[in-house]
Amino acid sequence: MSWLNRCTLSLGVAASFAFGSIAFAEAPAATRPSTRPAAAAAAPATQPAGLARFMRFVDDGKGGGRLETADVVYRNKDGVTVHLVSAVHIGEQSYFQALADSFKAYDAVLYEMVKPQGVEPPGPGERTGSGVSDVQRLMKDLLDLQFQLDVIDYTQPNFVHADLDAETFQQLQAERGESFVTLFLNQMMRALSQPMPGAKYGPDDPMNDDLMTFMTRPDGIRQVKLILARQMGELEQQASGFGLEGTVILTERNKAALKKLKQTIDDGKKNLALYYGAAHMPDLADTLELMGFEPVATEWRQAWDLTIRKGAPSLFQKLFEEALKAQEQAPVEQPAER
């Protein structure tokens, strides 16, 4: 395994918590333009398997690509419509703004957020003190992206909390001996124990680079994001996900979401969105179908723009510029008075 494979493997597993998803599935390059969401299309007779229904990496054939998440529409015989709106928790400003605009049209938007009982959701940009949020904010700074809580207003009147409260979440994890640390280590060991798939990289592919060559590639930040997205796609192929089925972070929270969904439907709401991390969606979709819902349309949204800009600075340039900036901003020591 090359140094770059090892680095991106570790970062990919860590990012699964920051993104609220576990892996990316690749899609063919011949798809819609990446600048705006595609019009909703009728669901094909044969759906892609697992997470590929809800998140995909699309290679643009020019050394870049894009990361997309899906809004999959389900409908039952009573005319109730449920949109499974897949989320990544860090993404482009335009991605979250488009989601925020779309949420205004729903009778209810059921959202994920582990928060204390009786506490209102934070407003845009408000700090919660959560360790997970701190990791997500660190990732968004490193990757030059936005954090969803800084853009989407969860205090809107049609937003409905559909998750475990923090007290129940912590109690269930304690009963099962789970923690974010143990889950992370288990995921890392599982990924490292699996052989890497036999991916074939072209002669100019960054996966063939030594460290110095990679550091001098143009548009360094997007090069990192591109490698990360592709590497996680390969992790999905080799490990079939990260084995979180049955855990509190995935399965028990899904149960809470579905319970709130049923309550909201019983209250007479007909047009709903379930806005959750993409890793949760395969299980939620399977349960919806058991409840009599059928997929009728899918719309893909661009979450990350991975088009490589030839004139943008390399990682080496960025580090050099940051070092110069820090030196210029450093306080100048005045000579001691005699």
Residue in 12, 6, 39, 29 with CA at minimum distance from that of residue 298: 39
pLDDT digits (tens, 9 = 90+) for 25-50: 334 333 333 334 444 444 444 455 57
State residue 122's pLDDT score: 79
Distances (CA, A) of 280 to 31, 66, 88, 113: 25, 21, 11, 13
Q: Which residues pair with 301 in a beta bridge?
A: 69
Task: Give the Cα separation of 43 and 87 in Å (integer).
Answer: 20
Secondary structure string (H, E, C) spanning 215-227: HCCCCHHHHHHHH
State residue 111's pLDDT score: 95
Task: Give the Cα separation of 241 and 232 in Å (integer).
Answer: 10
State residue 40's pLDDT score: 47
State residue 65's pLDDT score: 87
Residue in 255, 243, 252, 254 with CA at minimum distance from that of residue 182: 243
Question: Could you state, in chain order, the average pLDDT of each consecutive group of 10 residues for the chain (338 residues)?
Answer: 48 50 36 41 53 84 87 97 93 94 97 89 70 69 84 94 92 85 64 53 67 77 78 49 71 95 97 93 94 96 88 76 73 64
Task: Give the Cα separation of 130 and 318 in Å (integer).
Answer: 30
| Greatest extent of the chain over all pairs of C-alpha atoms, in Å | 89
pLDDT digits (tens, 9 = 90+) for 269-296: 999 999 998 888 999 999 999 999 999 9
pTM passes above 0.95: no
State residue 19's pLDDT score: 54
What is the enclosing helix (H) or strand (E) of 308?
none
State residue 60's pLDDT score: 85
Parallel, antiparallel, or unpaired for β 108-111 and 90-91?
Answer: unpaired
Torsions phi, psi for 326 (to 5 deg)? -65, -40
Task: Give the Cα separation of 111 and 117 in Å (integer).
Answer: 15
Q: Which residues pair with 31 in a beta bridge?
A: none
**Angle (nearest 5°) at CA 229 between 219 and 17:** 115
Q: Is 112 exposed, middle or buried (0-12, 13-18, 19+ CB in 10 A)?
A: buried
What is the enclosing helix (H) or strand (E) of 123?
none
Task: Give the Cα separation of 217 and 252 in Å (integer).
Answer: 43
Q: Report residue 37 CA to chain centroid gap.
A: 17
